[in-house]
Each structure stands twice: as C-alpha cells, then as structure tokens.
Amino acid sequence: MVKAKTIKKEWYPIIAPKIFQNAVLGETYVYKPEQMIGKCVIKNLMSLTNDVKRQNINLNFEVANVQNGRAFTNITGYYMVQSSIKRLVRKNIKKIDMSFSCKTSDNKNLQVKPLLITRAATTGSVATKIRKNAQDFLVKYISSISYDNLINDLVSHKLQNFLRKETNTIYPLRVCEIRSMEIVDLEKKKEVEGKAKLGKKEKLAKKAEESKATGKEEKEPAKVKENKDTKSKEDEAVKAKESKDEPQKEEKTEQKV
C-alpha cells in the first residue's frame, strides 16, 4: 500500500516595503506561499516608526509577490483612526470634509479625503474657498509625483504641512490632515455603481407597483359605498310609499263598515 502524502501548513513572514526597511508585519499560516498573494494586513503607523504621535494612523498592506518564502507587500491605503477624528472636533469651529479622485504621475487612481478644521467658526463662503483651494493644490501636487513618493510624503507629514501653508493664507487652520487615501479599482467601482443604479430602479418599480395596487384597493371600497348609498335611498323610497298607502287602506275599511 502506497501512503498518500499529507500537505501541512507552514508559517510565512509578511514583509513591509522599503520605506519601512522591510520590517516584518506579521506571519500567515498557509499550505503554499503563493496563497499569500492578495492577502491584506492592517498595521498601526506607530509600531512601524516608533513615534507615539503617529498612533492615530493605520496603513493597509497587500501582498503583491512572494520570493523565497517571504511575502512582499505594497501600501494600498492610509487611514486616520475614527476615534481620533472625534477627539479633534470642538464646538464653535468649522469642520471641512472633502472627497475627490485624482491620479499620480505613474497612473495610480486614488480616492483622497482631507480633513480640515478651522480655529474658529467661519462663514460658508470662506469654507467653500478653503475647500476649493485645498482640492486644487492636492490634485496638482499628487499628479506631479509617483505613488511611492506620495506615501513617503504622507508618512513624514510633508504633504500635510504644505497643505496647511496653502490654506492658512485664506483662514488659519487648527487641524490639517489626510483622513483617508486609498487606491481605487475603476472597473470594480463602475460595477458597484451599476449595481446600485439597478437596485434603485428595482426599488422604484416595486414602489410603483405597490402604489398601483393600493390605488385599486382604495377605489373598490368607494364603489361599495356608492352601492350602499343607492340601496339606502331605494329603501327610503319604498318606506315612504308604504307610509302613504296605509291611510288610504284605513279609509276604504271605514267606508265598507
């Protein structure tokens, strides 16, 4: 009897990009190293830079290739921790949220969401001007550099400082951060948008059918009421005739007597 070979799982390390000196992000337990491709790891920036001030930032890493049993990753997202955003907001100040798409010089499609908070309450016109200037500056800046350089500028806070200088000429800011930055797959985005549109159309069609059905139900009771009203009128007419005929019968009986 020939015994079948049993395949066992093994631990393989996940390596960060060169910007973090190929630090080990963690390990994964798989049968083959190729199974690691596409896996994602979320890591806090403080653990990679040993800087406590960066504990409010998370980075998303995705395994791109495997070499000699080691999984090498690329950075696909930069996010602020939601709880830290809540702590930054105060009363009598203006919070300016933004979201727009742009491209790097090496044709990486990105979705960028800056977070700007003023030092005091501002008017709507000032906020719109800050929003427009910030978006124009970021689109121009990001389109002039590669994706790797953009990640470097984000991690080192260089981009945020440039943005603060640009917007402080309009109104002084208390907070100037990039709330979120991620690579966007345009094909998947189109598919999701298409499904959302189809879902809306189906909902509208169902509502139209339901409204038609309820309209018919409302019309039917009205017809029943009309029939009842006509019957009641007929009954009243019959009763009136009977009441008129009764005195005549009494007079005829008296004459016979």
Per-residue pLDDT in tens (0 to 9) along the chain, 257 residues: 555 566 788 899 999 999 999 999 999 888 888 888 999 999 999 999 888 889 999 999 999 999 988 999 999 999 999 999 888 888 888 889 899 999 999 999 999 999 999 988 888 899 999 999 999 999 999 999 999 999 999 999 999 999 999 999 899 999 999 999 999 987 666 666 666 667 777 788 888 788 777 765 555 555 555 555 565 666 666 666 666 555 554 444 444 44
Q: Note whether 67 and 103 are same-domain residues.
A: no
* Domain assignment of residue 196, yes or no: no
* Domain assignment of residue 205, yes or no: no
| Structural domain harbouring 62 | 10-81
* Domain assignment of residue 239, yes or no: no
Q: Note whether 122 and 159 are same-domain residues.
A: yes
Q: Note whether 77 and 22 are same-domain residues.
A: yes
Q: Note whether 118 and 150 are same-domain residues.
A: yes
* Domain assignment of residue 203, yes or no: no
Last residue of a domain, one of 170, 185, 200: 185
214/168 Cα distance (integer angstroms)? 58
* Domain assignment of residue 245, yes or no: no
* Domain assignment of residue 133, yes or no: yes
Overall number of domains in the chain:
2
* Domain assignment of residue 232, yes or no: no
